[in-house]
């Protein structure tokens, strides 16, 4: 497995690869969720390239950039175990040289709300780095996780609108046995916080039961029920909403037959740790879990 820390090294390794390539972009501290993306990538292409880059442009000044977990040796060992062809681990200086003026890419209809409202500038940073990585690696397929649902929608639109010649594959969320979505940030949680954090998954399951089993069609009733579950687990709610699964717009009425399913999205804080999760509910086709 090669490891490229500069753009020149990456280009040299990329030129030597024949056959199709799948890219798995990550910020490192790899867990089983990331590794599932790698395993899916292997089914989609001849070679898998993983990028590991804690992208400063997607963090606001008050966020956890400096504390974000890093585990280079562990990450490389996990990539080797999962037969990754190469890892791109650039420095900040490689990705954002001082003499380059930043370019902004945006899909405002999708980035203004939810995470975009809570984290101004976040998606512009995500889109800029994702577009750079796609240009640098030139993959046939890029694998993203459903865990970051709005991100997957936004990247999907960028690829469609800018006619990028890459196929997006969105992989299902990998969870701990008690339902908590795996996340690099889970390691910030102390044991009591970790226990309460399952409230997010329980709230999503509550939404699913209300809509799929009880036929509840008022999104506000479902949203209130989700909020109650999250708050009962001692978390500070940022949002708990039911949205159109593709446009992410609010709905007057939950009509899965019109929208092909809806998405429940939750963001909540447990102490200083911000946790995100989502669930597609009442999908048209069972197993259809992609944005």
186 is a site residue for ligand AMP (CB under 6 A): no
Contact 40, 48 (CB under 8 A): no
233 is a site residue for ligand AMP (CB under 6 A): no
202: tokens are 């329980």
Contact string 12-31 vs ligand AMP (x = CB under 6 A) = --------------xx----
Q: Residue 234: is it exposed, middle or buried by C-beta count within 10 angstroms (0-12/13-18/19+)? A: middle
CA distance 132 to 205: 37
The contacts of residue 73 (CB under 8 Å, 6+ apart) are: none
The minimum distance between CB 140 and ligand AMP, in angstroms, equals 17
Contact string 202-221 vs ligand AMP (x = CB under 6 A) = --------------------
Among residues 10, 23, 33, 141, the one that binds ligand AMP under rule CB under 6 A: 33
Nearer to ligand AMP, 114 or 171 (CB): 171
DSSP letter assigned to residue 187? G
Contact string 117-156 vs ligand AMP (x = CB under 6 A) = ---------------------------xx-xx--------
The contacts of residue 6 (CB under 8 Å, 6+ apart) are: 90, 94
H helical segments located in 17-71: 32-44
Nearer to ligand AMP, 138 or 179 (CB): 179
For β-strands 262-270 and 236-244, DSSP reports them as antiparallel
13, 31, 34, 156: the catalytic one is 34
181 is a site residue for ligand AMP (CB under 6 A): yes
CA distance 260 to 27: 32
Nearer to ligand AMP, 36 or 79 (CB): 36
- CA angle (136, 134, 243) in 5-degree steps: 160
The contacts of residue 222 (CB under 8 Å, 6+ apart) are: 207, 210, 211, 216, 242, 254, 264
37 is a site residue for ligand AMP (CB under 6 A): yes
58 is a site residue for ligand AMP (CB under 6 A): no
Sole window of 33-41, 76-84, 194-202, 266-274 interacting with ligand AMP (rule: CB under 6 A): 33-41
Identify the three-state secondary structure at position 12. helix
Sole window of 112-120, 177-185, 187-195, 204-212 interacting with ligand AMP (rule: CB under 6 A): 177-185
The minimum distance between CB 256 and ligand AMP, in angstroms, equals 24
Contact 264, 279 (CB under 8 A): yes
The minimum distance between CB 216 and ligand AMP, in angstroms, equals 27
Phi, psi of 52 (to 5 degrees): -125, 110
51 is a site residue for ligand AMP (CB under 6 A): no
Among residues 51, 111, 124, 183, the one that binds ligand AMP under rule CB under 6 A: 183
Instruction: Name the β-bridge partners of 199.
Output: none
Q: Is 34 a catalytic residue?
A: yes
Catalytic center residues: 34
Q: Which residues bind ligand AMP (CB under 6 A)?
A: 26-27, 33-34, 36-37, 144-145, 147-148, 171, 173-174, 181-184
């Amino acid at each position: 497995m090669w490891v490229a820390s500069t753009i020149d090294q990456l280009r040299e390794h990329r030129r030597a690869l024949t056959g199709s390539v799948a890219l798995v972009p990550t910020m490192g501290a790899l867990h089983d969720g990331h590794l599932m993306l790698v395993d899916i990538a292997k089914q989609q292409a001849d070679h898998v390239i993983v990028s590991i880059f804690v992208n400063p442009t997607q963090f606001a000044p008050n966020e956890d950039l400096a504390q974000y977990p890093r585990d280079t040796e562990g990450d490389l060992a996990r990539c080797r175990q999962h037969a990754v062809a190469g890892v791109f681990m650039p420095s900040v200086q490689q990705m954002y040289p001082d003499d380059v003026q930043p370019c902004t890419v945006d899909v405002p209809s999708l980035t203004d709300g939810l995470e975009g409202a809570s984290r101004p500038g976040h998606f512009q940073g995500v889109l800029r780095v994702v577009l750079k990585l796609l240009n640098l690696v030139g993959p046939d397929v890029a694998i993203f996780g459903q865990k970051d649902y709005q991100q997957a929608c936004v990247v999907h639109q960028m690829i469609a609108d800018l006619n990028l010649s890459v196929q997006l594959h969105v992989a299902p969320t990998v969870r701990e046995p008690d339902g908590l979505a795996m996340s690099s940030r889970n390691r910030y949680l102390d044991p009591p916080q970790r226990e309460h954090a399952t409230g997010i998954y329980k709230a999503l399951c509550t939404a699913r039961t209300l809509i799929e089993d009880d036929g509840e069609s008022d999104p506000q009733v479902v949203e209130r029920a989700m909020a109650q579950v999250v708050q009962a687990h001692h978390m500070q709610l940022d949002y708990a909403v039911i949205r159109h699964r593709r446009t992410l717009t609010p709905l007057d009425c939950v009509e899965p037959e019109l929208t092909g399913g809806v998405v429940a999205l939750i963001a909540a804080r447990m102490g200083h740790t911000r946790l995100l999760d989502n669930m597609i509910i009442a999908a048209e086709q069972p197993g259809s879990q992609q944005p």
